[in-house]
Each structure stands twice: as C-alpha cells, then as structure tokens.
Amino acid sequence: MKVFPFKIPKSNEEAFLYQEDREFVFYDKYHQHEEIQISLIKKGEGTVLVGDTITEYEKGDILIMGINLPHVFRSEETENQSLSVMLTIFFSKNAFGKDFFDLPELKKTNGFFKDIKNGILIKNAPSSIKRKFDKFKNANSFDRFIIFFNLLKLFDQADKQPLSNSVYDKPFTDAEGKRMQMVFDFVMTNYQKNITLQEISEIANMTKNAFCKYFKVRTNKTFFQFLIEIRIERAAKLLIKNKELSVIEIAELCGFNNISNFNRKFKEIKKKTPFEFKNSLSNP
C-alpha cells in the first residue's frame, strides 16, 4: 500500500466510517487522508507525530486530525505486549453538502474546523465524550448523525491543545511520503545515538544541503531541532515512567552527552528544568 495518499475505504453513500483498531502497533506509516479523523484511545499509549510536533498519547485521550494532515502513530512497546485499542470516526466535511456548515445554525462549528487544521488533542477526555463513542458503534445512520453533532458540541466545550505548530500545506507525493517515513523511522529507532547529517541524508537518499532545505520546508524546523525535540519528549516520558532513574541517566539514555546542554534544551521545550519537571510529578 502506498504511504501517500492513504485512502479511507468509505462508500459515497456513507457520511461516516467507524473503525476499531486492535493492534500491538497502530498504523505506523507516515500518511495523510482527505477525511477528518476523530480517534479515542481506549487502551494503550505511545506517540503521534503530526506535522512538525511529536506528542505523547495514552488511554482516554482524543486525537483529531484535519484534512490531509500528515501524521504517524507509534504505539509504545510494553513488557506483556498487550493490544492497543483505538476507536475512530472518519468523515468528510463535504459529505453533508457543500454549504451545509455555512448554515447560520452551524456557524459555531467554524472554530472546530479551524482548530483541527493542525490537529487537536483532548487529554483524558470527559466520560460524556467516551460514552458517545460507545453509542456510535451500533447506532443507525440517523442516530449517528445526532451523536456526531453532540460530539462537536462537547469538543467545543473541552480543554484542547494543538497537535502541531506548523503543517506543510501541500499534499505529499508518494515518493515524499516514503522519504519522510524512512527519516522518521530511523530517528525514532536511533534517537539515543549520535546521528550525523551525513548519515540521515544518506537515509533520505539526498545530499546534505538538499536534505536540510527539504526537511526545513516540510517541518518548519531544522533536522537537529526535530531530533532534540524527539529526545526531550522521550526524556520526559522516562521521568514520568521510570522515577528510579536519575536525571543524568535519562539524559544519557536519550542521546545527551552533556548534562548542561540537556538541562538547557529541556527547559526551552518544557518550560521547566528536568529536576523541576520530576519534582512536579511528585508534588502536583
């Protein structure tokens, strides 16, 4: 299957497609699709890379992807390798008619469609939202329509955060998708090692100068900015999950050989030093 574009198997007669993913690893290919995606994480945890940003997700979170928003899920490996479960509603805005959401009664939905351009994360979604997902599965077409608009109302009231700061606004070609996939896979597997520009350029099958320009245009940041953010996100996760590890040990596990540099970069991204971040977990 081609990485770009990814086609959601929905018939023209359906306004919605409901899908349940029960996998050890969710669809881990960097992809985009024309349908808007609303996903509830029922079980499992991991990371999602959207546009230029990597974000941790866990059980109870809602993730919403806008039209043609590039993203990739990476389920977290666990000792017992239990299944991850994600419930998803796919829909196309135009499935309701070209001007449907321009009706005066639906003007309030404009904010939703604007927000999801860069993706939305709702941490630990309210039970009212989770119940709607459970009902959606077995509902008939008419009831799904009602549930969907109830969900939009609940999303408007929920605390949200963007999944990405910047998004490349042109559809990726298949070749571009495969290239970015190779780069992301390599980084996520080897972030703790010393990755050189020569090495990652060869992975992308480009010259160093061409790769730097290519990556910056598509992510709005340099490759090494991206690599540092990956390392800091992994460090934050270790600070949360492995409290027996020292900050120095975590820095080394995440590819930082200089503790001062680690502390500085961590504070730039997380607005707290690693020690402050770790202490805030014990004293909320």
The domains of the chain are located at 16-162, 175-282
Q: Do the strands 46-50 and 161-162 form a parallel or antiparallel pair, or are they unpaired?
A: unpaired
Percent of the chain with pLDDT over 70: 90
Stronger pLDDT, 64 or 45, i.e. the higher one? 64
Across the chain, which distance is largest between two alpha carbons, in Å? Answer: 59
Stronger pLDDT, 271 or 83, i.e. the higher one? 271
In terms of CATH, what superfamily is 16-162?
Jelly Rolls (2.60.120.10)
Burial class (CB in 10 A: 0-12, 13-18, 19+), 45: middle
Query: pLDDT-based confidence at 4, cuts 50/70/90?
Result: very low
Question: pLDDT by residue (tens digit) across 50-60?
Answer: 877 888 899 99
Show Cβ contacts of residue 61 under 8 Å, excluding neighbours closer than 6 positions: 40, 41, 121, 122, 123, 124, 125
Among the residue ranges 57-61, 86-90, 170-174, 216-220, the one predicted with the least confidence is: 170-174
Task: Give the whole-angstrom CA distance, residue 55 versus residue 233.
Answer: 8
Q: What is the pLDDT of residue 2?
A: 37
Percent of the chain with pLDDT over 90: 54
Residue 88 pLDDT exceeds 60: yes
Q: What is the pLDDT of residue 242?
A: 87
Q: What is the pLDDT of residue 252?
A: 96
Residue 284 pLDDT exceeds 90: no
Show Cβ contacts of residue 145 under 8 Å, excluding neighbours closer than 6 positions: 15
- Residues 42-48 have a mean pLDDT of 89
Q: What is the pLDDT of residue 80?
A: 62
Query: pLDDT-based confidence at 5, cuts 50/70/90?
Result: very low
Residue 196 pLDDT exceeds 60: yes
Q: What are phi and psi of 203, to 5 degrees?
A: -60, -40
CATH class for the domain made up of 175-282? mainly alpha
Contact 59, 87 (CB under 8 A): no
Q: What is the pLDDT of residue 99?
A: 86
Residue 169 pLDDT exceeds 70: no
Question: pLDDT by residue (tens digit) across 98-118?
Answer: 889 888 988 888 889 999 998
Q: What is the pLDDT of residue 278?
A: 86
Residue with tokens 């999303």: 155
Show Cβ contacts of residue 194 under 8 Å, excluding neighbours closer than 6 positions: 255
